[in-house]
Amino acid sequence: MDKVFISQLHVDTIIGVYDFEKESKQSLYFDIEMLSDIKPAAANDDINLALDYAKVSERVIEHATAKPVELLETLVEQLATIILTEFNTPQVTIRVSKPAAVAQANTVGVEITRTKAMS
C-alpha cells in the first residue's frame, strides 16, 4: 500500500477542558497519513480514482470547527471514523498537536492509528 499524507493542517477551533480554553479559539495542527493504492489514479491521471487530500483536509476542518469538544482524544477518534467511513482508505494515522496547551513545551498532542473494520 502507498501512503497519502497531509502535514501540519492548521485549524483554529474551540477545544479544551478549562473555562478559559472555551472562550477563544486555539490552533491545532494535524498530520494525517492514509493508506491507499495510488496506481489506478496514476495510470489514468484521474483525481476521481485518487484519495483526494484536498477533500480530506476540507472535511477535517469542517468537523473540527463545527462542534467544540473538550479532548483531543475525542476529536481524533471522531476524525478517524469520518476518514475511514467517507474516504477510500483502510487505515489512517492522525497526529494532532496543540502548541498553546503547555507553556513549557513546544507542542503537545495525541496520535492514533485506526483500521477499517472488515465485513
Any catalytic annotation for residue 39?
Answer: no
pLDDT bracket for residue 25 (50, 70, 90): very high
Handedness of CA 36, 8, 28, 13 (dihedral sign): negative
Q: How far apart are CA 67 and CA 15, in angstroms?
A: 9
pTM: 0.93
Neighbours of 90 (CB within 10 A): 15
What percent of the chain has a predicted confidence (pLDDT) above 90?
A: 84
pLDDT at position 66 over 70: yes
Residue 119 pLDDT: 61
Q: How far is CA 8 from the centre of its chain?
A: 10
Which of residues 79 and 24 earns the better pLDDT score?
Answer: 79
Q: How far apart are CA 95 and CA 33, in angstroms?
A: 9
pLDDT at position 3 over 90: yes
Q: Which of 55, 67, 98, 116 does the annotation list as catalytic?
A: 98
Contact 35, 3 (CB under 8 A): yes
What percent of the chain has a predicted confidence (pLDDT) above 70?
A: 99
The pLDDT tens digits of the residues spanning 93-114 come to 999 999 988 889 999 999 999 9
Contact 71, 80 (CB under 8 A): no
Over residues 23-29, the mean pLDDT reads 93
